[in-house]
Amino acid sequence: MPIDPTLPYDANNIFAKILRGEIPSNKVYEDEWAYAFEDINPQAEVHTLVIPKGEYVSWDDFSTKASDAEIGGFVRAVGTVARAKGLVEPGYRLLANIGVHGGQEVPHLHVHIFGGQPLGRMIA
């Protein structure tokens, strides 16, 4: 079910538990600002998720409340993961779902990195 983006951060959401190491994940990258891991239900040859370490519900929440250092660190981490995966050529796609119309299901900001194949139209 898509989340209600107006709700406060839920420290028991699944990605918070992954960040705390309470449930396993297939780690791809980690630094001070971000953690990246493979999506459990991949929608492309490459489907990696990057999440900020701070408690932010969505891109809206993050872009409103996060510090410049957090935003810079997170954006750089997304690029680092995509480069490490060898996706820059021939290209890849980033996606962040926000709220009900966005179809966001997990209430901790995550950027999807899709790649490894032609990705087709932007919206099916």
The pair of structure tokens assigned to 26 is 């297939």
Q: Tokens for 90, please give them.
A: 């021939």
Q: Enumerate residues 6+ apart whose C-beta is below 8 A from 43.
A: 112, 114
Structure tokens at 65: 């409340």
Tokens of 75: 């954006």
Q: In the annotation, is 110 catalytic?
A: yes
Task: Considering only the stretches 27-35, 37-45, 63-71, 78-86, report the one whose residues sit in contact with ligand 5GP under the rule CB under 6 A.
Answer: 37-45
* Binding of residue 48 to ligand 5GP (CB under 6 A): no
Angle in degrees, CA 41, 3, 111, rounded to 5: 50
Q: Would you say 40 or 88 has its CB closer to ligand 5GP?
A: 40
Stretch that binds ligand 5GP, among 36-44, 54-62, 72-80, 84-92 (CB under 6 A): 36-44
**In angstroms, what is the minimal distance from the CB of 83 to ligand 5GP?**
21
Residues that bind ligand 5GP (CB under 6 A): 14, 25, 37-41, 97, 103-106
